[in-house]
Structure 1
């Protein structure tokens, strides 16, 4: 593998870092560059949706994220004039009780720079460091590799040009992406002309709470201030239909005066400005996420309104969806159909989310309601939480398949709308006992899903069926798939004799017993109708639901060069 040049990632924000970490965990060499000379302190893109929490769990960084983050804040709306009396409060996102299939059902907030620091620390453990002060100037796609021109800038301002060969190039370089522009890919969409906004990271005095404090309305002019997870730092978001960006400057004294004028408060003092930027909401996306050996992810491929907190989360989704494809491609295992399915799967997801968040912004610009209510309201399916991204799916994708001879139905008290299909997010299931002599403890399915391999969940108690499934998996190249046999909860097993009880034991990676009865119910497997194998992809999505060994072979033939 070392003879093939590394994958080059332009842009070391959360999207580029997640992609780099996934690739390094797969053993793929990566070079990740960023044009900035320093790692900036900025809190923007701080909302972490439940699906992103799941991805962080699979990457192994969730414990650090949870320790550093907070629950989504309460919005505290102040009366004007005066600015000190609280008119109303409401949660930005209402609390949801976790479920067996959805263990992370609540939004967390974490300053973007802290998220990036966590990701960089895990990358460093895999011998990968971000190269600051290194910009992508241009590149050529030579068919079997990328030839890139890089410009490295030293702290004294001197520049050094470098010619660099990469196997693939990924543009995670933001909304003004050089990669996208060099590819000449259109960035379709428009700005929200009737609104101007500003973002700033500031140090202030006069506010001590952790609420999202708000004065005014977005339809007119609004000011919000929130304590971030950075020590002694607050995030200022202001804007609206009547906000004049020329009326405020990014110096402490001017910001203090302006905040006082807008809020009626003379006790709020800005003592330092760390970042300051005027901003007009943009809603844009590309129609193709790749061209040749070059790929786009995150803001380089789509930009969202600030409503709904989807920008970074969709970018992380891009990175996670792309990483396993590039990992297989790097090993010369990916089919052409698999690589092209990146656009096929992600473009409709992004288009739908852009439509939703744009509608949210337009509604909020008329009447600022509870984003918690607005964000999660679906008149047809009120129990769904669209912005949490747990119900997104790729059912239309050419690289997923569902082949069963019977109609699958929800089991027990499971909702028919929640029936797992090929292309869906693979749900969790607790209450599993790992029958390995070295494990023998309670597990959840999420503990077996990793970005490094497919996970074949074999639901059966039949020796013959399990043998057939395992034999079909044996033809798949090494390290592409791990097998997990899930036995019904009433299966009689002699823990000290499992190897002799099951002839196939030595050929599978894990044997679990569904003691909690969640797995069979959540995945809607009824053994009275037939056995099933459910193939979970490295991105945590269901690639296939099948009942026969030949169907397993067809799935992998579709995505691999086998």
Structure 2
């Protein structure tokens, strides 16, 4: 069995990468050791920047239909509602940032939507195939499977989670810390006796107790139950175990928990892989960085890893761009992951409130070797920043960006002749961009900006355009 790109792991990271490669005409195979997609709600928050990514990948309408906004937290004490808690301050959508707040979609539904989109693009997922080791040479990678067979690929992407077998095979360590030593239960359950308009929060009743939170999962009949336990506790994941903790920490009776559909436990941890690449193998998602769930950064950072890597692999494999382009994946994504780990930990510990930073719209690559800012007096928007939405010459910019191409925005400036692979949009100076030429990468970031076209041909040559 052989392929150009082998993606190990059919979580959000692997499926998003599979979609990006499939729409670029790259032969890729996703392998998943489990027999089916992940069944739980775990990563349920989709940040505004990831909504923009999903817009480009063609799944935004399905994501919108499958979820809903975050409900207001309702604090309970002794069976009485005693106050409200808002996870974050509301933000109004703007022309340049149309997705204003996190959108709640249970992880299992997000993965199903991504899987369906991948199949629509004729992408391939093979379940029940577990990668257990690999060998590299100058031409490719041979990945050994638990079944005794192997897959040969030009490149491999490890998207197989925090306990990544591929990462361990490469001997890449992870540096990190325990964010919270207290174990936490998370379960998807059917519950009666609570409304679905609020996220129900039950603070600890006494010393040594943990909190209980019961959140209605938008688009489903389920609630996500989260409960913290003292350090050293064993967590009972059975129906009776979930019933016991819900009854002990709330006004609900045990029988109000009618079904547990999925349950797991974890100890919040933050860790970063020492490197994101070893030869022809790349780490992405939880295989590269492990987050506390607080702040909803893990799944989002992971999907954006895939979005960064996908166009670069496509350029090398489909367009013949120099392999040196792939060196920029770690250069760009590892600092982002490090920052997001710090943010997640700070949110978990109550040091930082969810807000502008957790929306991830301000992330960018100003310091990247792929970034060139040549204007004499750049305005607020600089090369390396996310390219905002808006309207230019009667064209909505996110519509212009959508697809696996580069886009040149000529904003109150004259556009040069460019290869047919670059889409050109012309219009007068506008608020978000000011004035100038802006070359937008396939992943929606400004790669090059200039007052004139001087230097643009050199940049285009380097990008293989």
Shorter-chain TM-score: what band? Answer: over 0.9
73 and 99 in structure 1: CA distance in 2 versus 1, 3 angstrom threshold: same
Alpha-carbon shift at residue 20 of structure 1 (Å) = 0.4
Q: Secondary structure at the match of 2:148?
A: strand
336 and 19 in structure 1: CA distance in 2 versus 1, 3 angstrom threshold: same
2:350 pairs with 363, 378, 385, which one?
363
Q: Is 1:100 equivalent to 2:95 in the alignment?
A: yes
Counterpart-to-counterpart distance in 1, 2:42 and 2:200? 16
Alpha-carbon shift at residue 446 of structure 1 (Å) = 0.5
Alpha-carbon shift at residue 38 of structure 1 (Å) = 2.0
2:430 pairs with 486, 495, 520, which one?
520
Q: Residue in 2 aligned with 1:538?
A: 442
400 and 451 in structure 1: CA distance in 2 versus 1, 3 angstrom threshold: farther
Counterpart-to-counterpart distance in 2, 1:40 and 1:185? 25
Counterpart-to-counterpart distance in 2, 1:483 and 1:34? 40
Q: Residue in 1 aligned with 2:354?
A: 375
CA RMSD of aligned residues (A): 2.1
Q: Give a deviation string over 1:170-207, Cα, whole Å, max 9, x none.
A: 00000000111111111110223532211111222222
2:31 pairs with 30, 33, 48, which one?
33
Counterpart-to-counterpart distance in 2, 1:195 and 1:522? 45
Counterpart-to-counterpart distance in 1, 2:89 and 2:180? 31
Larger-Rg structure: 1
Q: Residue in 1 aligned with 2:461?
A: 557
148 and 267 in structure 1: CA distance in 2 versus 1, 3 angstrom threshold: closer
Counterpart-to-counterpart distance in 2, 1:455 and 1:356? 32
Q: Residue in 2 aligned with 1:403?
A: 374
Task: Say whether the 8 Å CA contact 1:281–1:306 is kept in structure 2.
Answer: yes
Q: Give a deviation string over 1:290-349, Cα, whole Å, max 9, x none.
A: 111111111000011111011000001101011011101112533344211111111111
Alpha-carbon shift at residue 387 of structure 1 (Å) = 0.6
254 and 355 in structure 1: CA distance in 2 versus 1, 3 angstrom threshold: closer
Alpha-carbon shift at residue 459 of structure 1 (Å) = 2.7
Counterpart-to-counterpart distance in 2, 1:268 and 1:93? 33
Counterpart-to-counterpart distance in 2, 1:284 and 1:220? 27
Counterpart-to-counterpart distance in 1, 2:462 and 2:314? 16
Task: Say whether the 8 Å CA contact 1:307–1:360 is kept in structure 2.
Answer: yes
Counterpart-to-counterpart distance in 2, 1:118 and 1:148? 28
Task: Say whether the 8 Å CA contact 1:253–1:270 is kept in structure 2.
Answer: no
Normalised TM-score (structure 1): 0.78
Alpha-carbon shift at residue 521 of structure 1 (Å) = 2.1
Runs of 5+ in structure 1 lacking a partner?
Answer: 152-159, 365-372, 377-384, 410-418, 434-442, 489-518, 526-531
Q: Secondary structure at the match of 2:460?
A: helix
Q: Residue in 1 aligned with 2:144?
A: 149
Alpha-carbon shift at residue 483 of structure 1 (Å) = 2.2
Within a 5 Å distance, the mapping from 1:16-55 to structure 2 comes to 16-55=14-53
Task: Say whether the 8 Å CA contact 2:10–2:37 is kept in structure 1.
Answer: no
Q: Secondary structure at the match of 2:350?
A: helix
Q: Residue in 1 aligned with 2:409?
A: 457
1:426 pairs with 380, 387, 392, which one?
387
Q: Secondary structure at the match of 1:5?
A: strand
Alpha-carbon shift at residue 209 of structure 1 (Å) = 1.8
Counterpart-to-counterpart distance in 2, 1:387 and 1:268? 37
Task: Say whether the 8 Å CA contact 1:304–1:311 is kept in structure 2.
Answer: yes
Counterpart-to-counterpart distance in 2, 1:557 and 1:256? 62
Alpha-carbon shift at residue 48 of structure 1 (Å) = 0.6
Counterpart-to-counterpart distance in 2, 1:165 and 1:397? 32
**How many corresponding residue pairs?**
462
Q: Residue in 2 aligned with 1:303?
A: 290
Q: Residue in 1 aligned with 2:119?
A: 124
Q: Is 1:392 equivalent to 2:363 in the alignment?
A: yes
Q: Give a deviation string over 1:1-57, Cα, whole Å, max 9, x none.
A: xxx932100000111111000110111111001100122321110001000001011
139 and 363 in structure 1: CA distance in 2 versus 1, 3 angstrom threshold: same
Counterpart-to-counterpart distance in 2, 1:351 and 1:422? 21
Q: Residue in 1 aligned with 2:57?
A: 59
Alpha-carbon shift at residue 363 of structure 1 (Å) = 2.4
336 and 127 in structure 1: CA distance in 2 versus 1, 3 angstrom threshold: closer
Normalised TM-score (structure 2): 0.94
28 and 352 in structure 1: CA distance in 2 versus 1, 3 angstrom threshold: same
2:162 pairs with 168, 175, 188, which one?
175
Task: Say whether the 8 Å CA contact 1:22–1:320 is kept in structure 2.
Answer: yes
Runs of 5+ in structure 2 lacking a partner?
Answer: none
Task: Say whether the 8 Å CA contact 2:67–2:219 is kept in structure 1.
Answer: no
Within a 5 Å distance, the mapping from 1:106-255 to structure 2 comes to 106-151=101-146, 160-217=147-204, 220-229=209-218, 231-239=220-228, 242=230, 245-246=233-234, 248-255=235-242
After TM superposition, the runs of 4+ consecutive aligned structure 1 residues lying more than 6 A away are: none
Greater shift, 37-46 or 332-341, is seen at: 332-341
559 and 183 in structure 1: CA distance in 2 versus 1, 3 angstrom threshold: farther
Q: Secondary structure at the match of 1:120?
A: helix
Counterpart-to-counterpart distance in 2, 1:50 and 1:268? 38
Q: Secondary structure at the match of 2:437?
A: strand
Q: Residue in 2 aligned with 1:380?
A: none
Q: Residue in 2 aligned with 1:487?
A: 427
Counterpart-to-counterpart distance in 2, 1:168 and 1:55? 23
231 and 361 in structure 1: CA distance in 2 versus 1, 3 angstrom threshold: closer
Q: Residue in 2 aligned with 1:78?
A: 76
